[in-house]
Structure 1
Amino acid sequence: MPGNDDDHLVDEIIKSYEDKGIIWPLDQVVEIAGFETISYEYVNPSPWDTPREKKEKDLKKDLEKLFSKVDHPEKTILNTHAPPYNTRLDFAPKLKNLKPVIVAGTVEMEHVGSKAVREVIEEYQPMIGLHGHIHESYAKDKIGKTPVVNPGSEYMEGILRGFIIEFSDKGVENYYKVEG
């Protein structure tokens, strides 16, 4: 799934591999492990003005439209690039003039996730939330009954991080961090 930094040209490249088993997840409900999955690539505005940013009210409207396509929101996998606001998943360096704010030798962190993503999770309580965007926040958390995860990213250091999620016919049985 494309992220906020990806130009829209990436979409056609990804779609060109559908005949090789690559799934284009956007603008539709996709079945994964017997569960409905909805995916959304846009994020709330950032200081970087990237190609896939929208205002929170527009994010909310788009996410509501996606949820209207699923039969059972509580058994849905929600895959959004933006993490939900005010969780362990959305800590990023506080910036001043596009540079990290440092206090007593430590980078000051703040919540930068999407309020719209948080609101739809609170409202629909999907089975699990899969998120990204904030590279510094390799974390898991919970909003109501919904576990939410962000594998973060340390690709510049050669570290790959992720989550293994175990499903049963009832839903998410377990989820845990992995890295290498």
Structure 2
Amino acid sequence: DTKKTQVMAMPGNDDEFFLDDVIKKYEDQGVIWCLDKVVEIGGFETISMEYVNPTPWDTPRELSEKDLKKKIDSLVKKLRDPEKSIFNFHCPPYNTHLDLAPKLDKTLRPVVTAGTVEMIHVGSRAIREAEEQYQPMIGLHGHIHESYAADKLNKTVVVNPGSEYGEGILRGYIIEFSEEGLGNYWKVEG
């Protein structure tokens, strides 16, 4: 029953734009379309963004770092107190435990050295800069399936549940808030 639990839904970078209307069809059943507005969760403001920095696959929802920064800044302007907010951005911040993905060669195959897949940071610099500048309580991220991780950017906790949907594994985080802000957070999978 979505009337007892807040359910926010948004597309990711691979999702075609017609899916926006599919998600919005469920708003009358309590699903919250969370893009381009502030959504309050337990007294804290949340802003959400589905776009990512450019990928080798040219997916539908990609923006340059410059345009990502503009979009983030326009969203942050809607917040009363960015330090007491939640950033729900599909793309993780650059150079964290959240954005490690296989290095690819020119044919888009993973580069393997000494039997090990080489990993590189592929997250967004604009998102990292925004989280360092505005210091939200937490950054909720996805996009990089290989990076099931949590990290910190100054005071901001950032998490990415990763994904192993091909193997039938669902991953996530349980996040606890108090009146003061972020409490505990736990990795979960099943």
User: Scaled by the length of structure 2, what TM-score is found?
Assistant: 0.94
The answer for the alignment partner of 2:103 in structure 1 is 94
Counterpart mapping for 1:28-47 below 5 A:
28-47=37-56
Question: Could you list the runs of 5+ residues in structure 2 that have no partner in the other structure?
Answer: 1-9
Could you tell me how far apart the structure 2 residues matched to 1:63 and 1:11 are? 20
Aligned with 1:6: secondary structure? coil
The answer for the alignment partner of 1:164 in structure 2 is 174
Q: Does 1:18 align with 2:20?
A: no
> What percent of counterpart residues are identical?
71
Aligned with 1:63: secondary structure? helix
Could you tell me how far apart the structure 2 residues matched to 1:155 and 1:27 are? 28
Q: Deviations over 1:78-106 (max 9, x none)?
A: 00000000000000000002000000011
Question: Could you list the runs of 5+ residues in structure 1 that have no partner in the other structure?
Answer: none
Counterpart mapping for 1:1-180 below 5 A:
1-96=10-105, 97-180=107-190
- Runs of 4+ off more than 4 Å: none
Could you tell me how far apart the structure 1 residues matched to 2:24 and 2:167 are? 30
Aligned with 2:133: secondary structure? helix
Aligned with 1:99: secondary structure? coil
How far apart are residue 176 of structure 1 and its match? Answer: 1.1
How far apart are residue 33 of structure 1 and its match? Answer: 1.1
RMSD after superposition: 0.4
Q: Deviations over 1:5-52 (max 9, x none)?
A: 000001011111100000000000000111000000000000010000
Could you tell me how far apart the structure 1 residues matched to 2:70 and 2:94 are? 17
Size of the aligned set, in residue pairs, is 180
Could you tell me how far apart the structure 2 residues matched to 1:176 and 1:143 are? 18
Could you tell me how far apart the structure 1 residues matched to 2:188 and 2:78 are? 32
Q: Deviations over 1:139-180 (max 9, x none)?
A: 000000000000000000111110000011111111110111
Q: Deviations over 1:116-160 (max 9, x none)?
A: 000000000001000000000000000000000000000001111
Could you tell me how far apart the structure 1 residues matched to 2:179 and 2:44 are? 9
